Structures are given as C-alpha cells and as structure tokens.
Amino acid sequence: MTDAVGSIDMPDAEDETPESKKKPRKGGKRGKKGPLGRLALFYRQIVAELRKVVWPTRSQLTTYTSVVIVFVVVMIGLVTVIDFGFARAVKYVFG
C-alpha cells in the first residue's frame, strides 16, 4: 500500500537524518519524576483533553437521550415479538 510520498513499508532514505541516528534519550520529562509526579502529569493531561471536548447543549442532550430511549424501546418490542414467534413455532413443531 502506498501513499503520496512512497511506500509505507519502506521509508524513504532522505527521511533519516544524522540527528535521528543519535542514542535515544532516557527518561525525558517522565523519567525525572517519581510515580506521584507521573500520576499528576497524567491527570493534568486528562484535564487538558477534557477542555478540548465540545460538550452538547442541554437541548442536544435531551434530543439524543430521547432518540436512544425510543430506539431501545423499539428494539425491546422487536425482540419480544420475535421471541414469542419462535416460542409458538417450537411449541407447534415439538408439541
């Protein structure tokens, strides 16, 4: 499979720079902190991501909830009808 640049499986030779051949850094920001520091960083990142979320308005939330409830009730009715149908068919076949 290829993209606009070239093969995904075979990276282009010019993508590799002399900087990328250096030894990988150990730790970075996470390596210098203990478990509590990493946990605090994790929660800060969670809060940052939640601030990016576009939350629905009350009107949208009411509409979405109503649609889900109606869909679930319709599916319950459909499964109930099919179940009664199979029960009658089994009772008819096996007496």
pLDDT of 93 strictly over 80? yes
What is the Cα–Cα distance from 63 to 57, expressed in whole angstroms? 10
The more confident residue out of 22 and 77 is 77
Asked whether 5 and 12 are in contact (CB, 8 A), the reply is yes
Confidence of residue 54 (pLDDT cuts 50, 70, 90): very high
Quick one: tokens of 37? 């520091």
The predicted structure's pLDDT at residue 95: 81
- Mean per-residue pLDDT, 13-39: 66
Neighbour count for residue 33 (Cβ, 10 Å): 13
User: pTM here?
Assistant: 0.50
In 3D, which of 21, 38, 42 has the Cα closest to residue 29? 38
Q: What is the mean pLDDT of the chain?
A: 83
